[in-house]
Structure 1
Amino acid sequence: MQTQIGTHDITLVQAKQQASTVFLAKVFNWMAAGLTLTGVIAYLVAASGMARVLAASPIFFILVLAEIGLVFFLAARIDRIQPGTATGLFIGYSALNGVTLSTIFLMYTQASIAATFLVTAGMFAAMAVYGMVTKRDLSGLGSFMFMGLIGILLASIVNFFLQSSSLYWAISAIGVLIFVGLTAYDVQKIKNIGEEGIMTQGDAAIRKGAIIGALALYLDFINLFLMLLRFFGGSRD
């Protein structure tokens, strides 16, 4: 009897691990699709010369506000909207972010942007693997990182008026640590969602869960990239 219970437990663990792996793959696929779309649009807008026009126009700030609104709307209404709508909003956000990020080509060389992207990808992958394999509960880390995120947002607003270079670099360094930590936390959270049975809840729940997970990791990656670009980006000036 004990052997049978042990075998059943092992089978259940394996089933959870397999479900989690499948769900993580869906999340990472959507995240990769979003990043690809963002990168292609950013490059095309910059190459067309529209980035320079956009940077000098108040439309830029309107687009940034629209991005923030899309993120909050998607996160708040993910349980009530249709999977197709959630997917469309994520794709729309990725495209819109590509437009606004095209302005980085005005500040940094293409070579330094590409190099920073590779560094970001390496750091992100390392922390993603850590989040998947660690036995440590990272929920406490996530709460701490979220408080740190609020802190750097407030500090960034203050520094908008102070224009302190010391505070700028401090925010950048702390920002890197925060988004590295959030990457591990978010991956572990997504892994746990997969193990808790979302793969048995139907296609709609799976799609929406994958989209919201992809959005979280997409934001971690983009923000880590922008923070690292402050250190590794080669200025055009």
Structure 2
Amino acid sequence: MNYPTQTATLGTLSGEQNKVLRNTYLMLALTMIPTIIGAFVGTSINLAFMAQSPIISSLLMFGVMMGLLFAVAALRNSVWGIAALLGFTFVAGVFLGPILQVALHLKNGAQLIGMAAGGTGLIFFSLATLATVTRKDFSFMGKFLFIGLILLIIASLANLFFQIPALSLTISAIAVLIFSAYILFDVSRIVHGGETNYVMATLSIYMSLYNLFVNLLQLLMAFSGERE
């Protein structure tokens, strides 16, 4: 596939690609505000019912998130798309409540949350820089990542019923690899002109960061969590 990169000078992006990338990073930074507010709300309310009914609550969360994702996609070309995106990130922050509550009940929970956030940021900046500076086209990863994501979702849903700790850790480890690769893939698509809508670009990268943070935190709690 030929991407519209011919107008760019060596080592730089074309004006349109640079605009999309810049707007995506600005929107990505902005989405952190409703996410943090949502996370504060999520840790402040009683979400014990989610722990008591993990299957129902997980399916409910999945349904709500999918509905909001479709709303953002449908409104992506208007200012309402930005509003829908910010609303989505707020709800995503609220849904962080249960795992953050579990983490904060550990002696070193706050430290683990900080480490997960720092690790997520480090992975993002490293891979985004790699995709931007090298200008290598990583679009070939798309099909493999999609298949991996589908298998990951199936395994996660299956483990809701089986509740096997070792499988849960394996899923989290694989998820870290898949969503890290998705960051590389998504930034590369912007660089090569494969994604020209910054709302959708922001949504894609945000979802990778969100899942990367959650799974890193789960691994850190499993291997480094200190019980009271």
Q: Same fold (TM over 0.5)?
A: yes
1:216–1:235 Cα change, 3 Å: farther
Residue 144 of structure 1 aligns with which residue? 144
Residue 119 of structure 2 aligns with which residue? 119
Displacement of 1:20 after TM fit? Answer: 2.1
1:57–1:168 Cα change, 3 Å: closer
Contact 1:142 1:181 in 2 (8 A): no
Residue 206 of structure 1 aligns with which residue? none
Q: Which has the larger radius of gyration?
A: 1
Report the TM-score when normalising by structure 2: 0.81
Contact 2:71 2:84 in 1 (8 A): no
Residue 65 of structure 2 aligns with which residue? 67
Displacement of 1:120 after TM fit? Answer: 0.8
Displacement of 1:23 after TM fit? Answer: 1.8
From 79, 87, 94, the counterpart of 1:84: 79
CA–CA distance in 2 between the matches of 1:38 and 1:236? 27
Contact 2:42 2:95 in 1 (8 A): no
**Residue-by-residue CA offset, 1:25-63 (whole Å, 9 max, x unaligned):** 1001111111232022212442x3x14356468895545
Contact 1:67 1:93 in 2 (8 A): yes
**Residue-by-residue CA offset, 1:58-117 (whole Å, 9 max, x unaligned):** 895545422221113433x25xx6512211110110111111112222110222112210
**AA paired with 1:31?**
L
Matched, 1:211 2:199: yes
Residue 227 of structure 1 aligns with which residue? 215
Residue 3 of structure 2 aligns with which residue? none
1:14-163 to 2 correspondences below 5 Å: 14=9, 16-46=13-43, 48=44, 50-52=45-47, 55=50, 62-75=60-73, 77-78=74-75, 82-108=77-103, 109-163=109-163
Q: Which has the higher contact order (CA 8 A, sep 6+)?
A: 1
Residue 174 of structure 1 aligns with which residue? 174
CA–CA distance in 2 between the matches of 1:88 and 1:236? 40
**AA paired with 1:89?**
A
CA–CA distance in 1 between the matches of 2:39 and 2:168? 25
**AA paired with 2:152?**
I
**How many pairs are equivalent?**
211
**Residue-by-residue CA offset, 1:6-31 (whole Å, 9 max, x unaligned):** xxxxx932485343223211001111
**AA paired with 2:92?**
N
Residue 8 of structure 2 aligns with which residue? 13
SS in structure 1 opposite 2:136?
A: coil
Contact 1:155 1:171 in 2 (8 A): yes
Which structure features the higher share of helix residues? 1
Q: Which runs of 5+ in 1 are unaligned?
A: 1-10, 199-208
Contact 2:39 2:95 in 1 (8 A): yes
Report the TM-score when normalising by structure 1: 0.78
